[in-house]
Amino acid sequence: MKKYQVILSKSYLVAVSARTSKDAMRIAEFYTGDIQDISIDQDRKRYNFSIGEIECTINDSLGAEEIENSLD
């Protein structure tokens, strides 16, 4: 099989409870990864936040380039 490097763009809507909109944006950027909440209970208590639903709104591949197979 051939191997490809794919350029992928994703956008999400993330529901966050936080003290301010600036905090909510920072929390969404830092504590989410590939459509899941990656925060830990200690962080949620320390910074007083929670993350609700995460919805993927855009999932587009923008191109693909064949790359050499490596030994896996």
Query: Could you tell me the residue ranges of all domains in the chain?
Result: 3-67
Strands (E) in 1-72, as ranges, are 3-17, 32-33, 36-37, 50-67
Which range, 37-41, 59-63, 65-69, is most confident? 37-41
- Proportion of the chain above pLDDT 90, given as a percent: 49
- Report the pLDDT value the prediction gives residue 56, as an integer from 0 to 100: 86
- Report the pLDDT value the prediction gives residue 3, as an integer from 0 to 100: 83
Stated pTM of the model: 0.65
- Report the pLDDT value the prediction gives residue 36, as an integer from 0 to 100: 86
69 in Cβ contact with 3 (< 8 Å): yes
